[in-house]
Structure 1
Amino acid sequence: MASYPPSQCCIVGVKHEGEAVGTIEKVGGYDAYIARPDDKSTRFGVVLFPDFMGYDLINAKLIADQFAANGYLTVIPDVWEGDNVPLNWEPGNDFNIGQWMGKHGPDRTKPICDAIIKAMGADHGVEKLGGVGYCLGAKFVLGYLADGKGLNAGYFAHPSATTADELRNIAGPLSIAAAETDSLFPAAKRHETEAILKDMTVPYQISLYSDVDHGFALKADLKNPKIRFATETAFLQAVNWFDEFVKTK
């Protein structure tokens, strides 16, 4: 595997402060959070595949707003159909990560994502599309970065549940933001990922951030200057990647 399955670290973090400026709308017949550039341009788009918290998490909405501010029509699908895991949920008899994932397999999530990606072009006029994934969202990025699946470029941070075969199947540029301390994407898995990408023809980038752990790009404590720097730089990594591989012809 290119990264290990999710664990408790995936559902802990810090809620960020801010007010989202996007709206909840139907995209391809499904609920989604959508953030529009100031000039209302729809030529370039981003689909942000969320982690367990889904689009309910203000952190994800604020990131979507930032992509929109950089010129990308950005959508977060309600991929979990409202069954989002609350941030910092304490696992007990009433919650189990494995069982939750079993309820949200490809049979449930794929029709949602397929419809939204199709609608980005057909209904919203998006000509080129980037995909962003955090934690479990990385798996969607790999799937839709395969040939003809809808994404022109991909980016993800601190992945979980991805496989080596999914990585080998990508047909477009991929950028990865990795945490120095991450039990789901440790050094051995990073090196395995590097070895696979090195033998492929797609452009790739892997950036390693010190002093941070799993979840840093989405749910980190931004009051810590070192962590804030890593979080903000990881976001800029994504923007720069898409500016090169989505906004170019």
Structure 2
Amino acid sequence: MSFCKGCFSGVTHEGTPKGTAPTFGIDFIAPQVSLLGKWEKIGGVDCYVGTPTIDYPKDKVILYLPDVFGPQLINAQLLIDDFAANGFKTIGIDYFEGGAVSVADLESGNVDTKAWFAKHSFERTQPCVDRVIAALQEQGTTTFYATGYCYGARLAFNLAVENVTKASAIAHPSFIEVPKDLEIYLAKSQAPLLINGCENDARFPPEAQVKADELLGGDKFKPGYRREYFPGCKHGFAVRGNTSEPLVKAGKEGAFKATVEWFLKY
């Protein structure tokens, strides 16, 4: 498995994240301070944390597992803020430890993907996720959910197969081997799975999405399964899609709405 061009391209979105900028000096927009979102170290890992301003269950957390641009990307912060605004405490984990792809590289699409991945393999990022989970458990969190995008979908699968998470929602996943990983999910996981798929996706094309339906749909996966399909969208649409295009805007908003509904259900 590998990356595709869409893993390292897209557009930045307009808006002001609610948290303060991280301290490790990457060239991202420095947002304003608010009660909704802020940067914290959890288990020694930098995390962008979205906390609802309304009452919410203190023992439950959504783990936001980002694509290669990490939670430093304004798009990711806006999504985390939106999850918090819907009543979910949400933790965006910087498992790239300051090495996420920058906005400049997003705009240019000029990234040595092999060199980047050699520094940020799953063997290096998974321990960061595990440290965050352990620290949150020490603070009283008992129930975890995971939403993973592109790279982060692989980590969401790992957590679900280990039954660390109660429910999973992934969008345009990379590094999911079909049918092998879907069969493992079916056999081992108890976490209901939502897949937000799209029309143009080299990493998880429509035929892979249909295979997921064959393996997990029709009540075959008892905990729960659902797939959303967004025409006119391409890999990265749920985070980095060009929302000036009506179908892409509908896809991005539809994927977020489906994810919120999924977590509310479970």
Give me the TM-score of the superposition, normalised by structure 1: 0.89
Structure 1 counterpart of 2:81 = 65
Deviations 1:81-110 (A, max 9, x none): 11111213433xxx4212321221233112
Q: Return the match for 2:172 from 139, 142, 158.
A: 158
- Alignment partner of 2:195: what SS? strand
Letter of the 1:115 partner, please give it.
Answer: R
- The alignment status of 1:85 with 2:101, answered yes or no, reads yes
Q: Return the match for 2:161 from 146, 150, 153.
A: 146
Structure 2 counterpart of 1:127 = 142
Q: Which runs of 4+ in 1 moved over 6 A?
A: none
Give structure 2 stretches of 5+ with no counterpart: 19-36
Give structure 1 stretches of 5+ with no counterpart: none
CA distance in 1, matches of 2:175, 2:209: 13
- The alignment status of 1:194 with 2:213, answered yes or no, reads yes
CA distance in 2, matches of 1:40, 1:244: 18
CA distance in 1, matches of 2:76, 2:154: 17
Structure 1 counterpart of 2:39 = 24
- The alignment status of 1:106 with 2:103, answered yes or no, reads no
CA distance in 2, matches of 1:151, 1:11: 27
8 Å CA contact 2:63, 2:93 repeated in 1: yes
Q: What's the Cα RMSD here?
A: 1.6
Larger RCO: Structure 1 or Structure 2 (Cα < 8 Å, ≥ 6 residues apart)? Answer: 1
CA distance in 2, matches of 1:105, 1:6: 12
Deviations 1:134-153 (A, max 9, x none): 111110110001243x2110
- Alignment partner of 2:196: what SS? strand
Structure 1 counterpart of 2:199 = 180
Give me the TM-score of the superposition, normalised by structure 2: 0.84
CA distance in 2, matches of 1:228, 1:188: 24
CA distance in 2, matches of 1:11, 1:241: 27
8 Å CA contact 1:139, 1:160 repeated in 2: yes
CA distance in 2, matches of 1:24, 1:209: 32
- Alignment partner of 1:56: what SS? coil
8 Å CA contact 1:179, 1:213 repeated in 2: yes
CA distance in 1, matches of 2:95, 2:150: 14
- Alignment partner of 1:183: what SS? coil
CA distance in 2, matches of 1:101, 1:171: 30
The offset of 1:122, in angstroms, is 2.2
Letter of the 1:36 partner, please give it.
Answer: T
Structure 1 counterpart of 2:11 = 14
Aligned sequence identity (%): 32
Structure 1 counterpart of 2:243 = 222
- Alignment partner of 1:54: what SS? coil
Deviations 1:143-175 (A, max 9, x none): 001243x21100011111112443323321000
8 Å CA contact 2:38, 2:48 repeated in 1: yes
Q: How many pairs are equivalent? A: 237
Structure 2 counterpart of 1:212 = 233
- The alignment status of 1:47 with 2:63, answered yes or no, reads yes
- Alignment partner of 1:88: what SS? helix
CA distance in 2, matches of 1:89, 1:113: 29
CA distance in 2, matches of 1:89, 1:156: 26
